[in-house]
Structure 1
């Protein structure tokens, strides 16, 4: 588990704000950590969904290209088959 590290500015802000809201700096730090832990997974999930959409769009393009190649190959071989004598 990665330990949350705070910049000196963040820790100073926590120490300055905590007495104003009637709690200890450690309590405010733990609240801040919980907030960060709850908000970061949502952004990570959104990014992974965006990546999944991009991957699926790329796969769709590739499949359309493959289908077009197969369609052209089938037409080519069908045309070539017309000119051959029956067996």
Structure 2
């Protein structure tokens, strides 16, 4: 049976909010910055998600996923532009 937490409830709530609002940062990185074990932080997040309103959790996950997908789209567009330029270069070289 786990004992009482040595961290105040407000600290745990703020830590969970930081994890939820920072989808681009790893849980381990946030735990290190806060000075807590990543497993402890993971437990807090899991507990908070179980207690949260399912619609609110889904909305937060969609927002994080949207940010991640937009970032990936930007990366792919850059890669595509590089490939277009490379193809144009090689097409000019082949015509010589």
TM superposition score normalised by structure 2: 0.46
Say what the alpha-carbon RMSD is for the aligned residues: 2.0
**Within 5 A, what are the aligned runs for 1:25-40?**
25-40=54-69
Aligned counterpart, 1:20: 47
Q: How do residues 72-87 of structure 1 correspond to structure 2 at under 5 angstroms?
A: none
Q: Give unpaired runs (5+ residues) of structure 2.
A: 1-44
Aligned length: 50
In structure 1, distance between residues paired with 2:85 and 2:46? 51
Residue of structure 2 in register with 1:44 after alignment: 73
* Matched position secondary structure for 2:52: coil
Task: Give the direction of change, closer, same or farther, for the CA distance of 1:41–1:35 in structure 2 (3 Å limit).
Answer: same
TM-score w.r.t. length of structure 1: 0.50
Higher RCO (CA 8 Å, separation ≥ 6 residues): 2
Partner of 1:65: 94
**SS of alignment partner, residue 64 of structure 2:** helix
Give the greater-gyration-radius structure (CA).
1
